[in-house]
Structure 1
Amino acid sequence: MSKSELNQIVEKLRQAHIQQGIPDIKIRHDRLERSKNLLLENKDALLDAINQDFGHRSAYQSLASDILASVSAINDAQNHLEKWIKSETVDNPFDGMKTEIQYQPLGVVGIISPWNFPLNLAFCPLASVFSAGNRALLKPSELTPKTSEILAKLVPQYFDDTELQVITGDAEVGAAFSALPFDHLIFTGSTNVGRHVMRAAAENLVPVTLELGGKSPVVITDDFDLNTAVERIFTIKTFNAGQICISPDYLLLPQTQETTFVEYAQSFTQSIFPSYFDNEDYTSIINERHFQRLLNLINDAQAKGANIITLNPEGIIADPVRHKIAPTLILNVHDDMLIMQEEIFGPLLPIKTYDSIDEAINYINARPRPLAAYYFSENTTAQQHFATNTTSGALVINDVMSHVFIENLPFGGVGASGIGAYHGIHGFRRFSHAKAVVIQNDSGESNLNMRAPYQEKLSAAQAIFN
C-alpha cells in the first residue's frame, strides 16, 4: 500500500471523527463490546493462526495471554468508563469562577503492535484508544502473518471502516505507517526500531507512546528463600520461551548462592517441563532468524569464556527443526559479551554475582533504564533502598512480571525502555487531551488585574515586596 493511500485512510478516519463529533459513552461501550466479541467469537481461528505463526505455541498460553488478557482490559475499560469520562473540577483562586479539566478524544490513533503477543499488544492499547473516544488504524507485525491476515479479515466484519482499519505489510509499510499524520501513535517493539518510529513521527509532530524493552534485571538478596525466587523467575522465563519484553534479562546474585541457584533451577524447570522439544507446553522461537540470533548469543558468550548450562535434562540446547531452545543459564559473564549488551528475548539467563547490594545497584544504574526491575528481599528497609536508588518502568518486589496484570497500574518504560504509559485510567488519559476549561465569574476579577492603567496596580504590586 502506498503512502498516499495510507494518508487517505487516516484522513477518512479523521473526517468521520470531526463530522460525527465526540462519541458518547454508549458508542464507546459498543466499540469495546465489538472488540471483545471479535476475540471471543473467533477464538479458535485466532489461536490456530498464532500457533502457525510461531511454529508451535501452547493453545493455553495464547488463550491466557492474548485473548483473555485482552478481554480483561476491555472489561476494565467498560466497567470504569462512566467514571473516567467525567470532567474533573479543580480549585481556583477566584470566587464564582468555574474551572475544570475535560478529557477530549485526540482523534485518530495509530497502533503498531509486535509479534510476541500479537493480540494482547493490539487490543489492550485499543481498549484505551476506544474508551477515550478515538478511532484507530492498526499495523500488526509482519512476523506473525497468519494472525495479521485474520485480523485484517475479521475487523471489517465488526467495525465500520471509519472506526477501525487494519493495515498489513512488511517493514517498508511499517516505516510509511509511522510517518502518517496521526493524532497519536503507539508503538510496541525494540528500542532500535522505536528510534526510527519516533524520528518519523516527529516530522508531523505526532506525539508517541513507545513501549520498548531493554534488559530487565533480577536481583536476589541472601535473606530471600532462593528456591521460591527460582520458581517465580523461571515460571516467567519459560513462558513464551522468554519472548517477552519484561522477561528477566539478567540475574544479579550473591556469589555464595550461584551453585545452589543452578541446582534449584535444574530441579524446578524439570518439574514443569520434563522435556522441551516434543513438549506441547513449550513454545518455539518465532522464526529462523531469531533462533539463530539466540544461538549466536550463546556461542559468543562461550567463546569469550562463559560457562553454558542447559536446563534440558537431555543435555541438548536447541532443536533446529522445531526452532525450540531449552532454558539455558550463562555463567561467568562479562560486559563485552553480546548477551550482556543486547536484549535477549528468549529463554537464556545470564548470571552475574555481586558482593554487596550497592554493587548490584551501581551495575544497574550504569546501564540504560529497564522496562522492569525485579528485587527479591524480605527486608522492607532494603526494598525501599532499592526502590529509591534505581529507576525502571516498573518495580516488582518478590515476584516477576505480576504488575502487568493489574489494570489500574500504569504500564510503560522510562528512558531507553519507553515513553508514556497506558492500561486502565492511565491509558484513557494517555489517549485523551486534558483540556482546561474556565468559565469566568461575573466580576471578571482575574481579567481586571491585567487592565490598564497600570500605575496604581504597580504600587500595589511593589508593596508585596516591602
Structure 2
Amino acid sequence: MTTSFQNSPNDLQAISARQKLFFNKGLTRDVHYRILHLKRLKDVLLRYEEEICDALHRDFRKPAYETELSEFLIVLLELKSLIKNCKSWAKPRYVLPSLVNFPSLSKIYKEPFGNVLIIAPWNYPFQLVMAPLMSAIAAGNTAVVKPSELTPNTASVLEKIITEVFEPGYVDVVQGDAGVAKALLNLKWDYLFFTGSSRVGKIVYEAAAKHLTPVTLELGGKNPCIVDETAPLELTAKRIVWGKIVNAGQTCIAPDYLLVSENSKDQLLAALKTELQRALGPAPKESPDYARIINQSNFERLKGLIEDQQVVYGGDADASENYLAPTILDMGVLDPNIPLSELPEVLQQEIFGPILPVLSYKTHQDIQDWIEKYDKPLAVYLFSKNKALKNKVLNELSFGGGVINDVVSQFLNPRLPFGGVGKSGLGAYHGRHSFDTFSHQKSIVYKATWLDLNIRYAPYSKKLKFLKRFKKYF
C-alpha cells in the first residue's frame, strides 16, 4: 500500500489505524511468522538485485559496485543474520535474581514496541530503509516506511519489493515530500527511527516528545581524520581517498576534514593527489566509478564551500549533471583560539560531499582543542602508531565510533553498535543491537510461594538493626 501527499491526511490516519489493527491481531508476536516474512524478503531481494542497482544509478549515477558493496551486500548479510538468530534473540533471558527477592527467578522478555515509523534519507536510499525495517520486523513490530523523495527510482523499487512481501497493515510504504513526513510525524507511533540531518532530527525529536515516543536518531557531524608523522602515508592516503569518494562523499561517516602533523602535510597532500589519480583517472567526470551530487541544491551548496579557498586538487564542476570533482583544500595551520563562527563555512558545517579540507597541527593538545570546538562527531579516525596519541583520542574525545588506521569500516561490522552521541545521534543499531533497539525489554520477577521471609513487612521497629547488618550482603 502506498500513499502520497496528493492524498488527504486522512489517508495517512487510515494507514496508521490499519497498522494498529494488524499489530493487535498478535500475528507478529509469533517468531515463526516473522522468520517466514524475512525469508520471503530475502528471496524477493535477490530477484530485484539488478533493478536495485539500476535504480540507484538512475537516481545519482551510483556505481553498481558501490551499490553492491555498501547497500545490497550489507542488507543481505544482515537479513541472513536476522533469519538465523531471530528465534534465539526473541527468547526470554534469565538474569541473576536479587538476594532481597529470595526465593525468586528473574527474566527479561523481548516485546515489540508496536507500530514503527521509519523515515529514511537519500544518500543510501536502499540500505537505510531495509536495515531498520528488517530489524523492526524481526523484533515483531509493524512498520510504515517513508523513503526519500530525492531518490524516486529507488523509492519505487522499494515499494514494489515491500508490497510483494508484506500485506497492507504489516508494512506500508508512504511516498512523498517533506510535507508527507511532517504529516506522518503528527500521528502517534510506538517507535520512531530517523536517519538524516541534525536539523531535521530536532524536528523529529520534538514531534516524538509530544507523545513520549521512543526514538532512534541517526544523524551526522564533522568527522575529523587525524594523521600523525608515524602513519604510513601511501596506505593512509589510499584509505582516506576511498572513504571520501565513495558515494561522492555523501556519507554520514566519511572523513569530513583532515588534521595532519605539520611534518607530514606536504607528503600526505602529494600522496592524496596520486591516489585520486589512480582511483578515478585524470578525468574523474568520465570515470564510471564516481557518483554525482544528489540534486542541484546540494551541488550549489558544495560549490559555494570551495569558493575563495585554496584548492590544491580538483574543484571542477558541471551543473548540468551535478558533478563536482573530488576536491582537496589547503586550509593552512589550525588555530584553536579562533572561534567557530569566524572560520570559513567549509570548516563550520558538515560538508557531505567530495571536498576534503586539510589543516596542519603542531601539538596533540591542539588536536583536542580543535575537535572540541564542534559538537560531538559521529566518527573520529586516527592514522598513527603513537600509543599515547591513540589513548588520548580514545579516552579524552567523545564521539559515536571510529577506526584506528582506516576510515568508515566500523560500519561494516554488524557486531558493533552503530550510532552517534549528542548532536550526532541518539541510540544505536546493527545486528543484535538492532533487534534490541526495536524491542521493549520487559523485566519480570517470578516470586516463589513456598517461603515468605517476614523481614520486609511492618511493623519495622525490631528489624532495623538486622537490616543494617544485612546491607553488606547486598
TM category, shorter: over 0.9
d(CA) in 1 for partners of 2:415, 2:109: 20
Q: Is residue 257 of structure 1 aligned with residue 264 of structure 2? A: yes
Paired position in structure 1 for 2:298: 290
1:310 corresponds to which letter in structure 2? Y
1:145, distance to aligned residue in structure 2 (A): 1.4
Selected match of 1:11 from 6, 17, 20: 17
Residues 264-343 of structure 1 aligned to structure 2 (within 5 Å): 264-274=271-281, 275-299=283-307, 302=308, 306-311=309-314, 317-332=316-331, 335=340, 336-343=343-350
Q: After the TM superposition, which of the residue ranges 433-442 and 456-465 deviates more from structure 2? A: 456-465
What CA deviation, in whole Å up to 9, does each residue of 1:354-401 have, x standing for no partner? 101121022112310011110111133431221001111002100001
1:188 corresponds to which letter in structure 2? T
Q: Is residue 83 of structure 1 aligned with residue 88 of structure 2? A: yes
Provide structure 2 residue ranges, at least 5 long, that are not aligned to the other structure: 1-6, 335-339
Q: Is the 8 A contact 1:387 1:395 kept in 2?
A: no
Paired position in structure 2 for 1:203: 210
1:157, distance to aligned residue in structure 2 (A): 1.7
Paired position in structure 2 for 1:361: 368
Residues 370-385 of structure 1 aligned to structure 2 (within 5 Å): 370-385=377-392
Q: After the TM superposition, which of the residue ranges 24-33 and 198-207 deviates more from structure 2? A: 24-33
d(CA) in 1 for partners of 2:420, 2:185: 20
1:64 corresponds to which letter in structure 2? L
Residues 43-58 of structure 1 aligned to structure 2 (within 5 Å): 43-54=49-60, 56-58=61-63
Q: Is residue 452 of structure 1 aligned with residue 458 of structure 2? A: yes
Q: Is the 8 A contact 2:110 2:441 kept in 1?
A: yes
Selected match of 2:73 from 58, 68, 72: 68
d(CA) in 1 for partners of 2:402, 2:53: 31
Q: Is the 8 A contact 2:139 2:438 kept in 1?
A: yes
Residues 185-264 of structure 1 aligned to structure 2 (within 5 Å): 185-264=192-271
Aligned alpha-carbon RMSD (Å):
1.9
What CA deviation, in whole Å up to 9, does each residue of 1:212-249 have, x standing for no partner? 01111100111111111111000110111101000000
Secondary structure (helix, strand or coil) at the match of 1:252 reads strand
Paired position in structure 1 for 2:407: 400
Q: Is the 8 A contact 1:40 1:67 kept in 2?
A: no
Tell me: CA distance 1:110–1:458, structure 2 relative to 1, closer, same or farther (3 Å). same
Secondary structure (helix, strand or coil) at the match of 1:412 reads coil
Paired position in structure 1 for 2:36: 30
Tell me: CA distance 1:65–1:458, structure 2 relative to 1, closer, same or farther (3 Å). same
Secondary structure (helix, strand or coil) at the match of 1:215 reads coil
Q: Is the 8 A contact 1:179 1:204 kept in 2?
A: no
d(CA) in 2 for partners of 1:38, 1:465: 59
Q: Is the 8 A contact 1:194 1:212 kept in 2?
A: yes
d(CA) in 2 for partners of 1:375, 1:445: 58
Q: After the TM superposition, which of the residue ranges 329-338 and 364-373 deviates more from structure 2? A: 329-338
Paired position in structure 2 for 1:179: 186
Q: After the TM superposition, which of the residue ranges 146-155 and 324-333 deviates more from structure 2? A: 146-155
1:462, distance to aligned residue in structure 2 (A): 5.8
Q: Is the 8 A contact 2:225 2:257 kept in 1?
A: yes
2:347 corresponds to which letter in structure 1? M
- Aligned residue pairs: how many? 455
Q: After the TM superposition, which of the residue ranges 368-377 and 13-22 deviates more from structure 2? A: 13-22
Q: Is the 8 A contact 2:361 2:367 kept in 1?
A: yes
d(CA) in 2 for partners of 1:65, 1:127: 17
Secondary structure (helix, strand or coil) at the match of 2:320 reads coil
d(CA) in 2 for partners of 1:445, 1:387: 50
Structure 1 stretches (4+) deviating beyond 4 angstroms? Answer: 462-466
1:37, distance to aligned residue in structure 2 (A): 2.6
d(CA) in 2 for partners of 1:444, 1:381: 57
Percent identity over the alignment is 35
Tell me: CA distance 1:460–1:136, structure 2 relative to 1, closer, same or farther (3 Å). same
What CA deviation, in whole Å up to 9, does each residue of 1:388-438 have, x standing for no partner? 011110021000011111011000000010000000111111110110011
1:441 corresponds to which letter in structure 2? A
d(CA) in 2 for partners of 1:463, 1:320: 77
Secondary structure (helix, strand or coil) at the match of 2:234 reads helix
In the superposition, the TM-score normalised over structure 2's length comes to 0.92
Paired position in structure 1 for 2:47: 41
Secondary structure (helix, strand or coil) at the match of 1:219 reads strand
Tell me: CA distance 1:403–1:101, structure 2 relative to 1, closer, same or farther (3 Å). same
1:214 corresponds to which letter in structure 2? G
1:309, distance to aligned residue in structure 2 (A): 1.8
Secondary structure (helix, strand or coil) at the match of 2:260 reads strand
2:300 corresponds to which letter in structure 1? Q
Secondary structure (helix, strand or coil) at the match of 1:238 reads helix
In the superposition, the TM-score normalised over structure 1's length comes to 0.93
Q: Is the 8 A contact 1:310 1:317 kept in 2?
A: no
